[in-house]
Structures are given as structure tokens and as C-alpha cells.
Chains A and B, each alone.
Chain A
Amino acid sequence: MATVLEREPKGLTPKDWASDQEVRWCPGCGDYAILKAVQKTLADLQADPDRTVFISGIGCAARFPYYVESYGFHTIHGRAAAIATGVKLANPELDIWVVSGDGDSLSIGGNHLLHLLRRNVDLVYLLFNNEVYGLTKGQASPTSPRGTVSPSSPGGTLDAPVNAGAFALGAGARFVARVADVVQGPMVEVLTRAHGHRGTSFVEILQNCIVYNDGAFDAVTDKATAAEHQLWCRHGEPLLFAGGTKGVRLVPERFALEIFDVGADGLGAEAALVHDETNPMLAQMLVRLDVPTALGVIFAVEAPSYDAAFSAAAPTRKPGLADLQRQVGGRTTWKIG
């Protein structure tokens, strides 16, 4: 989301982006790493704290605005997308970040996220996905795998999970990315891209809940298995992973992606698909991969943002009092006395 801020760089460091509030997440929570990456991104971007607004709903992630030295609005459950829309339309100069969780975004706030994405309001939307309701003590969330045993589902959940990225693409998102909490460097890169994109930049962050769902993403984030599970999508580069020993190719007959071992069955590295972040069909297939998990900027296309269109549609001429008097007076009038 590129609101070009015309100002002198202030030389702010990540530390300057920390507010005076004591951070109150559980020790070891993945949110700390995300906060750190966001503060670094803001410092790298030399963003203007006075024009930066963090807006959140309800949930563990939603405390985020209190911890960033900018303007912040901690709102109500599920509605951050709608409130952020109002903020952006009222003042398009603001640089808005929405921070949300899987329950906030995909259960109670699903409708607002859908419409935010289809409208393409210019802001960054961070969805911290920990596949559990943390703040209410561990119930299954809309992204929990089927069969999840939780206090509200002692026999295991019966419902199929939402795939956040697939939902976003289905809603018409023009920017969809995915990262994990522990991968600091790439997260800053992705957040920088997201911030630079004009329109709603949707970033799903796989986030570990150390208390209620510890290890949910271990396969993706553990050093031992990460290479086999992380498929980094970079525009124009082949979709290879596991140190280049594996690749993702298209099987045209089935119109499906297939994982292959580089060198086996006569398939070299050149058999791998080259990532095209502007291809919505490829993006849909990539976000649905389980092993490996697609990370990085999966989809990004340029499109007009809603707020730009909204501003452009604003009447340019500000009528005077006489015009208003004429309007209020109407066309058909009569005189008494």
C-alpha cells in the first residue's frame, strides 16, 4: 500500500516504533516475533509514525496497536476491516495496518474481510493464524484442522477448516502473501512488499500459540524439516525447495500441481514451474499446497484501490452557502403573507 509520504526521513529505529506500553503476550508467543518484524519494517521504510495507524479487532493479536508507537485503535471483534475502511476513506493520507487473527478475520469478521478484499481498500491486512482461539482459552478456530480436540470439541471438530489464502483469493484479493512468525528476514521482505502494494495487501502469518496450540506449524518452522516444508514463491524464479532437490511442476492432463524430485524420472530443475505472481490460477493452487507450504508473495497484481476511486468521485467544487440555500429551498415553492 503505497501512500507516498512526502517528508524528511526521521531516522527512526525499530526501537523508536515501540510504544511505552508493556507487552503482555505469553512468554514465547509468536506475536513477539511479528511485532519485531513489523517495527523493523516500519523503521526500514522510514514510515511517518504520525500518519501510521494500527487498527485491530479482538483476540491476542488485536493488542498489537498498543505496542506500536503510532496512532492505534483497538476496536471490537471482527470489525477492524470495516472500521479501517472508514478511517481510510475519511483520510486517504493515512498509512493503515490492520492486525487480526483467524477467529477475528474468518469467523466473526469473515464478511468484512470479504468486502475489504473485493473493494481493495489501500491498507496492509495481517492475519495472525494460530489455528486456535487463544484469548478465550483454546477452542477450535475456523482454521483448525478437522478433528481438532479442544474444550469446545472434546470429540474433535466436525467442520473443515478455512484456507485463509484461498479465501482471500476467492474474495478477489490483489495481494496475497504468507509467512511464518519465526522467519524474520523474509517476513520483513514480505511486509515491505505488502506496504508498497496499492490496495489491500493480505498477509497470512503462521503464528505459534505456545499455550493452546504449541507446535502447530513445527513442520514448517523447525530447522530439521523447514527445507522440506517451505516453498518460497519468488516472481520469475522456479518453484524449487528442499535446497533445490525438489520442485513443483504442473501436470497439464490433470491441471494439478505435483511435487517431484529434481533428477528423478528425467525431470531436471527446468521442469519446475516458474512462479508468476500475477497468475490467479497458479496462486489458488499454491495456497492450497500443504506439504510444502507456499510462502512469500503468492499473488500480486495492480488494480485501482477503492479509496482512490472514492476520492476521485468526490465532487471537486465546494458549493457556497447560496448553493446550499438553493438546494434546501427546492424548486417548487410558494409564498405566504
Chain B
Amino acid sequence: MNEISHLVGAAGPDSLVVRFAGDSGDGMQLTGSRFTQEAALDGADLATFPDFPAEIRAPVGTTFGVSAFQIQFGGRRVRTPGDRLDVLVALNPAALKVNLEDLRPGGTLIIDTAAFVDRNFKKAGYDHDPRDDLDGYRRLDIDITKLTQAAVKPLGVGNRDANRARNLWTLGLVLWLTGRSRGATQDWIRERFAAEPLVRDANLAALDAGHAYGETAELPRLPEVLAPGQTAPLPPGRYRTVTGVDALCYGLVTAARLSGIDLFYGSYPITPASSMLHMLARLGAFGVRTFQAEDEIAAICVAIGASYAGQLGVTGSSGPGIALKMEALGLAIATELPLVVIDAQRGGPSTGLPTKTEQSDLFQAVLGRNADAPLVVLAASTPGDCFPVAIEAVRLATRYMTPVMLLTDGFLANASEPWLIPDLAALEPFPVRQGAAVDGFQPYARDPATLARAWVPPGTPGLRHRIGGIERSHRTGAISYDPANHQMMTDFRRAKILGIARDLPAQGFVAGGMDDRILILGWGSTFGAIESAVDRLRADGVSVAHAHLRHIWPLPANLGDILASFERVLVPELNTGQLHLLLQGVYGCRLESLTKVSGKPFTAAEIETRVKTLLEA
């Protein structure tokens, strides 16, 4: 632990890590997202980590009802939500109990004293007042509840309603402590509560009162991580914040435009994938229609039906829902229809940890079907990366007439970061061709370059044909039980997917290169933690490189050469070693594995520590 705190210290005063924690009804997610917006508008780089329970409203005051929102922001590049907290806001004893261990020694602890009473100690599982044991922190014990009540009393707001503005009072205080402005939050409150003037005014009053408290109580401010007028060293351009869900949905509708094909999104509600359905349902004008199906199987089946009929079917779910879709996915593979399947991974097996992140569906994505059933698997690495990966999924699905599985996870779905708004006009269109020449048409004739068959939707004049899940004759598509035909078709399906590797850019490096001794090979949302760790290690003179896979299957053509050229390769992943096992199987080489399945992302320190251990070994 000493080492880790040392490392956090090394992060320096150019970023701050703040976590807001309270009951799931305390509005912590809103508080965090408003703070994020203020930091972003000030020009900070940032990364966020919303962490909330599966229960909508768990019993008040209990540890399992604690909801938290963490942000790291600053004037330098910020890759992760931060390993350890500089500031912890704990609105009740349960929030303190769950989160205190992440607060660094000397960190700032803000608590609402009104909630620190015997009844709440018991609910949180404390047998005495935990404040007695809080040594080594900068304490801000404030009766936030009472101060909020006082702030809104002149408006005629009673205590009960006043308590609902407690989070905005707290936000006001933290904005002051961190030197952030609050104008965007004021604008947001005015717009959000335009129809409820009393609520609007109470929230504004609470926000202002929290802000003013910091000033009048002359609380020392936290170190300045972003001077006025300073911006983080991000590439120049216009920015907004996006979550992974935002970027992924924008990617899909942009792909609809680039391909000229409308999208059809079939889905069944499931955490953490439902937010894609919600967002796409609002983007109907941009070439995507949504359909809430009766179950997970129907959700993929309507998407397959849409693809068969000439739109691009897309379905999204999380691990358990994806499992239900697998037989239908096999049909799309067999009939060689384009399809995009988005898996927002979460902790499992079974219901597992619905609101917690994990990367444990890699096997399910690559291998999880009956028989030899290859498809394309992509993984997004950051919230913003969901945009190009969604476009790539649509491009590959339509070019190769194949299902594509796109892996995100609970962390990527909800986390946000500054995003350089893409210039859509600069993106390369990939118009999709449907139909075929009538003369000599054969449904399973293949393009020699891609091995893809033609996409001929019903309604196309003169090209009537029948397809299905029973093995198809290699040209006509008619039912065929011929042994040689099945061998040939299995080989075609495999060769088509593996051949896509030729269409992929060579695997490159995020940091370092072939001359380094150690490679960290990551995939998916571990990107930020690995990047931070590698930055620090390289700054310390460690010969370590970072490569990050977007294409999980097929793997990039040059990956084998890369792996062979390093002394040691470390594969960190939030599962028990799935990519590690896959790569060892494919390349027959020995790799190191770093795994974690606690429902939380890697910290950079965890990766850094492991690399140092490897160096010593």
C-alpha cells in the first residue's frame, strides 16, 4: 500500500480525484455529472466513474444502497477516474464506510454531520461513531442538511423538500473548493426546472449557499489543478463530453449515413445496455428505428429479420441477454447476413453484478456458440472510442456479410470524457450495395476478394431464393447434407472471417514500440489505466510499451510478430484471463496475465506494480 500511495503522490497536483458518495436517492450521479460539465467547460481533461447499486432505491442508510460518482480532472492528460481519492464526499455513514478506504492519507473528507447519528451508524454496520477513528485526513464536518434548510427557508420550502437540494449545496461547496465556476449548473437548473419555479429557486439557492459557505468560512481551497484560462493539453478543436453510450449511438447513426443503409435496433431492457435503446429511440430522424422486443431472443430475431429485408439489424444487450441470443446469432452466421450485436459487459455469471463492470464476455463473443461459428469481435477502449468502433462494426458487417460483436462494458457505457467532436463530412463513406446481376445469380456465390455473398433482400425483382439454417449448398443455398459441401462451407465461413485481418490496419502502439523489453497488451476499457501506468513507468525509465486491441477477432495480422519480439508480454483484463488464454492458443507463446474481477476498473497502480514485479522476476 505504501507503494501505491507513493505513486498517487507522483500523479502530482496537476489533477484531482473527487468522489461524491451518498444514498442512491441522494442524487450523487446528478451531482457528479454536473461537476463533470463544469470541469469540462473550464478546459480540463477528465475521466469519470459512476458506480451505483443495482437496487433502484435500496433501504436508506445501508451500505448496499450507496451510490457514488468519481471524477479525475486537471490541466494534464487524464486517462482514468483516478486510483485514490483526493476528496471524498460522504453524505452518510454508509457512504463513509464503503468509500473511506479509497481516500488517500491527507485527503479531504467532507461529511454531512446531520446524518452521523446512532440510527445511521447501526444501519451502516458501525458500532460507534466512525468519526472517532478518522485520523490523517483533512476533515470538513459540516451540517449540510441544516445549512441547506436554512438556505431555502426564505423561499418557503419546508425541511423535507429542502433535503432534496442537499446534493446541490454540496456541489456548490466542492465547486468552490476546487476553484470551478458554477454558471453551467445554474443554467442547467433554470432550464431543467423551468416549469417548477419553486424547485428551481430552491436548487439555485442551495447551490449558491454551498458555494458561499466555502468562501465565508474561509475554507482553504484545494490545490489549483487548472489555472484560470489554462486548458488541458488536448489536441485543438471543439469538445463536448460523451459517455460510451452517447458515442456509440452517434457512431451507429453516423454509420447509417456513411453506408446509406437504415439501421433497425431491436432490444430488450437490461442493465447496462438499456440506455442505448433509450438514446437510439430519440435519434429516429437519423436513420435508425428502434423496437422494444418481448425478450432477448426476439430482439436479435427482429434485427436478423430487418437485415434479411435490407436494413442493417442491430441489437444490444449485456452478458446474460447475449447468451440468450446465441442460437439466433448462429443463424445470422449460417445465412451470412450482416448484423451488429453490442454487448455491454457486466459482472457475471448469471445475473452477477448488473451495475458493475467486467470484461468476462470475451469468450462468449469469440467462441460462445454451438459449432464452428466465427464472427467479428471488436472492443471499444474509451467512451469516445465507441464512436469509431461502432462505425467500424457497421462497415465490417456490411462489407463481409457477417455478424459483428461489439464489446463495451458497464464502465465504458456510463463513464464520460472530453471528446473532440468529429467532422462528419471528413469521414469516408462506405456505400453498401444490395442486389446482384439476375443472370446466373446464385445466393451463395462469393466475392473472391471478401468471400462475402451478395445481399439480396426479398422484394428484389427476379432474384427469388431461399435461405435457412440447415447447411446450404455452396452456391445455390438449397439444403445440402453433402459431406464435402459442409466441409467447404465451414472452411469458407472461417476463411471469410480470418481474411478480414487483411482489411485491418496493422496493430500499432499507444506508447513505446518493438524495441522495448516489456509489452502491455490490453483490450477494451482497461485502456486508460494501462496508458497511465505506462506513462509513469516510461517516465521512470522502464522499457515498456503499450498496445491496445480494437480487433479481438480476427486478430491483427502482425500481432504474432509483435508478441514474439518482446521479452515479456503482460495481458491485463477484468476477467480471469480470457484474452490471455486465447492468444496463447492462437500464437503458442507464453504470456503473463493480470486479472481482476471486483466489479471495479483497474487502477493504474495495480498495473504499474505488476510490471515492476515482472521486471524483478
CB within 8 Å of B: which residues of A? 19, 21, 49-53, 55, 58, 65-66, 69-76, 79, 82-91, 93-94, 111-112, 114-115, 310, 313-315, 317-319, 321, 323-325, 327-330, 332-337
* Inter-chain pairs besides A86-B313, A88-B305, 20 sampled, C-beta below 8 Å: A50-B459, A50-B460, A50-B464, A66-B468, A74-B468, A75-B331, A79-B297, A79-B328, A84-B305, A86-B264, A318-B285, A323-B285, A327-B253, A327-B283, A332-B41, A332-B240, A334-B41, A335-B237, A337-B234, A337-B237
Given known pairs A83-B302, A111-B294, A328-B424, the reply for A336 and B239 (CB within 8 Å) is yes
Q: Give 24 CB contacts A-B under 8 Å.
A: A19-B466, A51-B458, A66-B479, A72-B467, A73-B308, A73-B468, A75-B331, A76-B331, A83-B302, A85-B298, A86-B266, A86-B291, A86-B304, A87-B305, A90-B310, A91-B457, A94-B309, A111-B298, A112-B297, A324-B257, A333-B240, A335-B238, A336-B238, A337-B237
- Nearest CB of chain B from residue A123's CB, rounded to whole Å: 11
Q: Does B43 contact A (CB under 8 A)?
A: yes
Which B298-312 residues have a C-beta within 8 angstroms of A? Answer: 298, 301-311
What number of A-B contacts does a CB cutoff of 8 Å give? 207
A74 and B467 contacting across the interface, CB-CB below 8 Å? yes
Cα–Cα, bound, A328→B464 (Å) = 40
A93 and B459 contacting across the interface, CB-CB below 8 Å? yes
Residues in A whose Cβ lies below 8 Å from that of B465: 71-72
- Nearest CB of chain A from residue B405's CB, rounded to whole Å: 18
A324 and B458 contacting across the interface, CB-CB below 8 Å? no
Cα–Cα, bound, A131→B311 (Å) = 37
Q: Does B509 contact A (CB under 8 A)?
A: no
A332 and B286 contacting across the interface, CB-CB below 8 Å? no
- Nearest CB of chain B from residue A94's CB, rounded to whole Å: 6
Cα–Cα, bound, A50→B43 (Å) = 58
B470 and A74 contacting across the interface, CB-CB below 8 Å? yes
A89 and B264 contacting across the interface, CB-CB below 8 Å? yes
B425 and A321 contacting across the interface, CB-CB below 8 Å? yes
Contact of B305 among A90, A323, A324 (CB under 8 A): A90
- Identify the closest chain A residue to B309 (Cβ): A90
Cα–Cα, bound, A335→B229 (Å) = 12
B239 and A82 contacting across the interface, CB-CB below 8 Å? no
Given known pairs A86-B306, A327-B250, the reply for A50 and B466 (CB within 8 Å) is no
Residues in A whose Cβ lies below 8 Å from that of B421: 328-330, 333
Q: Does B236 contact A (CB under 8 A)?
A: yes
Contact of A87 among B253, B306, B478 (CB under 8 A): B306
Q: Does B606 contact A (CB under 8 A)?
A: no
- Identify the closest chain A residue to B42 (Cβ): A334
Residues in A whose Cβ lies below 8 Å from that of B257: 321, 324
Cα–Cα, bound, A320→B313 (Å) = 22
B424 and A94 contacting across the interface, CB-CB below 8 Å? no
Give the interface SS of chain A, mostly helix, strand, loop or mixed: mixed
A86 and B309 contacting across the interface, CB-CB below 8 Å? yes
Given known pairs A66-B478, A334-B41, the reply for A50 and B461 (CB within 8 Å) is yes
- Identify the closest chain A residue to B232 (Cβ): A336
Q: Does B14 contact A (CB under 8 A)?
A: no
Cα–Cα, bound, A91→B37 (Å) = 42
A89 and B462 contacting across the interface, CB-CB below 8 Å? no
Q: What 5 A-B pairs are tightest by C-beta distance, nearest first?
A: A86-B305, A337-B236, A74-B468, A86-B302, A71-B458
Residues in B whose Cβ lies below 8 Å from that of A55: 305
- Nearest CB of chain A from residue B435's CB, rounded to whole Å: 12
- Identify the closest chain A residue to B246 (Cβ): A330
Residues in A whose Cβ lies below 8 Å from that of B342: none
Contact of A333 among B238, B262, B305, B422 (CB under 8 A): B238
Q: Does B190 contact A (CB under 8 A)?
A: no
Residues in A whose Cβ lies below 8 Å from that of B237: 335-337
Contact of B238 among A91, A93, A334 (CB under 8 A): A334
Which B228-269 residues have a C-beta within 8 angstroms of A? Answer: 231-232, 234-242, 250, 253-254, 257, 262, 264, 266
Cα–Cα, bound, A5→B331 (Å) = 30
Given known pairs A72-B466, A111-B294, the reply for A319 and B309 (CB within 8 Å) is no
Contact of A83 among B289, B305, B464 (CB under 8 A): B305
Interface centre among A82, A114, A335, A337 (most CB of B within 10 A): A82
Cα–Cα, bound, A74→B479 (Å) = 10
Given known pairs A76-B328, A337-B236, the reply for A82 and B305 (CB within 8 Å) is yes
Tally of chain B residues near chain A (CB < 8 A) = 73
A82 and B301 contacting across the interface, CB-CB below 8 Å? yes
- Nearest CB of chain A from residue B424's CB, rounded to whole Å: 5
Given known pairs A325-B424, A327-B283, the reply for A65 and B304 (CB within 8 Å) is no
Q: Does B18 contact A (CB under 8 A)?
A: no
- Identify the closest chain A residue to B461 (Cβ): A50
Cα–Cα, bound, A33→B462 (Å) = 27
- Nearest CB of chain A from residue B384's CB, rounded to whole Å: 12
Cα–Cα, bound, A70→B294 (Å) = 29
B302 and A332 contacting across the interface, CB-CB below 8 Å? no
Residues in B whose Cβ lies below 8 Å from that of A66: 466, 468, 478-479
Q: Does B40 contact A (CB under 8 A)?
A: yes
Residues in B whose Cβ lies below 8 Å from that of A336: 43, 231-232, 234-239
Cα–Cα, bound, A321→B309 (Å) = 26
Cα–Cα, bound, A85→B293 (Å) = 10
Residues in B whose Cβ lies below 8 Å from that of A52: 458
Cα–Cα, bound, A72→B466 (Å) = 4
Residues in A whose Cβ lies below 8 Å from that of B468: 65-66, 72-75
Residues in A whose Cβ lies below 8 Å from that of B335: 73
Residues in A whose Cβ lies below 8 Å from that of B224: none
Contact of B302 among A19, A69, A82 (CB under 8 A): A82
- Identify the closest chain A residue to B462 (Cβ): A50
Q: Does B327 contact A (CB under 8 A)?
A: yes
A112 and B294 contacting across the interface, CB-CB below 8 Å? yes
Residues in B whose Cβ lies below 8 Å from that of A93: 459
- Nearest CB of chain A from residue B28's CB, rounded to whole Å: 21
Q: Does B295 contact A (CB under 8 A)?
A: yes
Contact of B478 among A21, A50, A112, A324 (CB under 8 A): A21
- Nearest CB of chain B from residue A39's CB, rounded to whole Å: 14
A114 and B466 contacting across the interface, CB-CB below 8 Å? no
Contact of A85 among B235, B302, B461 (CB under 8 A): B302
Residues in B whose Cβ lies below 8 Å from that of A87: 305-306, 308-309, 458
Residues in B whose Cβ lies below 8 Å from that of A328: 250, 254, 421-422, 424
Cα–Cα, bound, A90→B289 (Å) = 9
- Nearest CB of chain B from residue A29's CB, rounded to whole Å: 17
Given known pairs A66-B479, A83-B305, A333-B239, the reply for A324 and B424 (CB within 8 Å) is yes
Residues in B whose Cβ lies below 8 Å from that of A21: 466, 478-479
Residues in B whose Cβ lies below 8 Å from that of A318: 285, 287
B469 and A75 contacting across the interface, CB-CB below 8 Å? yes
Residues in A whose Cβ lies below 8 Å from that of B283: 327
Cα–Cα, bound, A315→B290 (Å) = 12
- Nearest CB of chain A from residue B313's CB, rounded to whole Å: 7
- Nearest CB of chain B from residue A22's CB, rounded to whole Å: 10
B309 and A332 contacting across the interface, CB-CB below 8 Å? no
